Structure 1
Amino acid sequence: MPSGAPLSASQFANLHTFLVAARHASFALAAQELALTPSAVSHRIARLESSLGLLLFQRLTRQVKLTPDGERIFEALQTSWDSLHAAIAGGDALAGSITVHARPSVAQCWLVPRLAGFAARYPDLSIDLRVGNDAVDFRAGQVDLALHYGDGSFPGLAARKLMDEWLAPVCSPEYARQHGLLDAPQQLPGVTLLHDTLAWPTCAPDAEWRFWAGAQTPPVALPARCLRFDRADLCAQAAIHHAGVAMGRRQLVQPWLDSGQLILPFGGFTLASPQAYYLVHRESSLRGPLPVRMQALRDWLLEQAI
């Protein structure tokens, strides 16, 4: 690809194929989006690598991963693609796809119920939502924006607080009646606790309960009897079905409190969480403004926060 020479149609197609494959981190998914075969995608990428003299992807057993050269070129291409959309749309390119990562609980309980409003406001923007408890590798170019629950420390990344959180035990009305939990927490040692063992990165399995119990006067001893989950929404569902008492995050469980499926035992004692929700993206985006499609999503999410 000679320097300064105009791109041919085939070269442009190869670059676009690379952009889509890098975004999905998959030749197969890129083939679906582009209406090609995976073999055709692979051949286009190979021709692009040959013309550039660079290896853009590591070919692993069941996936592909960007090399450092691939990451660099993907970032430049994505920025150029956003600029092209902006030019075509007169400076307001509210079109395209945004890949968002969120923990399963916040996706299930908070984000997904609101997405219809985003789709109505921005019909030409699509959200590709990925969920999981694993750390997000922004370097691979697979995620544009992540919704994290943590203490605000995200080394090497740009972060903006979305909303605070509050902790309060929750259980079903029937469980509260059976165990005499409606007033003070002195009855807590006789119940089954429901733990989100991955409440935030590197926390203890019972971190949320320890934090809440330590704030009581006098501090309350926690029972050993428990059920453990790796998602806060599963803890809440177990509480709805009378399995025990969960540590509820008010941003996530409020609809169940409003419906009466869950109640606040122990007098409703609520405590500000040491963690909060943050919008996180690659720090390199700080060199210039966020792409307009990401600005639109970020601003909409901030509107939804309370």
Structure 2
Amino acid sequence: MYNLPPRLEAKLNSSQFSNLFTFQVAARHLSFSKAADELCLTASAVSHRIARLEAELSIPLFRRLTRRVQLTEAGERIFAILQQALGDLSEVLAQPVDADLAGPLTLYAHPSIAHSWLVPRLAEFGLRFPGVRLDLRVGNDRIDFRTRQIDLALYYGNGEFHGLVAHKLMQERVAPVCSPQYAERHGLTGALERLEHCTLLHDSLAWDHATFDSEWALWLRQQGDMPMPERGVTFDRSDLCVTAALHHAGVAIGREHLVSEAIGQGRLVLPFSGFTRSGEYDYYVVHPALEALPRRVAACIAWLRECAAQTPAI
């Protein structure tokens, strides 16, 4: 167990890992220019990364002296922790791979969840399963496991997957989302009646047998049978709707787990209300009914469910 300085432990987040690694290299060399050579960066870029890390942590890590740098007491403590952690990680990665957890694994996913939820977690997957050769494939259609060499599939649906074993990953909630600029331009904040003057962004393949406006129609019924605005743009992928919303093209139905990061960053807003359940549609990982799953497949299912449980809600 590593004892982090209290302020570092309280403030550390994933966006700081690259800056911490840059700090570790610079501290090892006690030179920004040598760190820049090792990292294929400019000395200025190294300096900016470390300055940003110091500002975020409110801790000075280096003393800038004439022609050299020197670690502060806090810098020495953090450097020692990083050296030990990286050494331990190297030992783990050098260990022989469990043969039962090695080999190919093919995962099929709808584009939206692959792009917005799964791909950002692949680095963690690689660390957890270094012996697994992952083949990620995307598509909107349900696949036939009998004719496709697929181990697992991630689907958005109501849980009815005939002949397959389904594990619920995440219960989904939805809400209209748009960019802050679009909300301000159209006076949307808290003014649901203003929606009729907006462009709706539709996902025509929201779920099996959905029509182009199914998601919006369901949400509008929940608001008291509001009429459907006439202006709209239709896509065949939920993530494209969200991308269009990010670029001020209109208002999309945002699925909580796919838009929470953009909302947290202030790139999207909820102009009317918070997230609510919309129908019975959730995210599932499915596979054929087998007497025994390969261990690497079972381990991947467990990892996906672990990631889902750790996905924050708004």
Residue 112 of structure 2 corresponds to which residue in structure 1? 105
Q: State the Cα distance separating 1:162 from its structure 2 match.
A: 1.1
Cα pair 1:185 1:220 within 8 Å, conserved? no
Cα pair 2:178 2:246 within 8 Å, conserved? yes
Aligned: 1:297 with 2:292: no
Tell me which of 203, 210, 221 is aligned to 2:217.
210
Q: Which amino acid aligns with 1:94?
A: L
Distance in structure 1 (CA, Å) of the matches to 2:173 and 2:244: 20
Cα pair 1:236 1:246 within 8 Å, conserved? yes
Aligned: 1:277 with 2:283: yes
Aligned: 1:181 with 2:188: yes
Q: Give the gaps of 5 or more residues in structure 1.
A: 1-88
Distance in structure 2 (CA, Å) of the matches to 1:291 and 1:103: 23
* Counterpart secondary structure, 1:133: coil
Map 1:13-24 onto structure 2 (within 5 A): none
Map 1:81-96 onto structure 2 (within 5 A): 93-96=100-103
Map 1:100-179 onto structure 2 (within 5 A): 100-179=107-186
Q: Write the deviation string for residues 149-168 of structure 1: whole angstroms up to 9, x where unpaired.
A: 00111111111111111110
CA shift in 2, pair 1:128/1:261, >3 Å = same
Q: How many residues align?
A: 214
Q: Give the gaps of 5 or more residues in structure 2.
A: 1-95, 310-314
Distance in structure 2 (CA, Å) of the matches to 1:290 and 1:143: 13
Distance in structure 2 (CA, Å) of the matches to 1:270 and 1:238: 22
Q: State the Cα distance separating 1:261 from its structure 2 match.
A: 0.7
Aligned: 1:196 with 2:241: no
Q: State the Cα distance separating 1:273 from its structure 2 match.
A: 4.5
* Counterpart secondary structure, 2:134: strand
Q: Which amino acid aligns with 1:193?
A: L
Cα pair 2:168 2:285 within 8 Å, conserved? yes
CA shift in 2, pair 1:91/1:114, >3 Å = closer
Q: Write the deviation string for residues 258-277 of structure 1: whole angstroms up to 9, x where unpaired.
A: 11110001133533442011
* Counterpart secondary structure, 1:139: coil
CA shift in 2, pair 1:90/1:257, >3 Å = closer
Q: Which amino acid aligns with 2:308?
A: A
Cα pair 1:168 1:250 within 8 Å, conserved? yes
Q: State the Cα distance separating 1:101 from its structure 2 match.
A: 0.3
Q: Write the deviation string for residues 112-131 of structure 1: whole angstroms up to 9, x where unpaired.
A: 10111111011001210000
Distance in structure 2 (CA, Å) of the matches to 1:100 and 1:153: 19
Distance in structure 1 (CA, Å) of the matches to 2:127 and 2:239: 27
Cα pair 2:97 2:131 within 8 Å, conserved? no
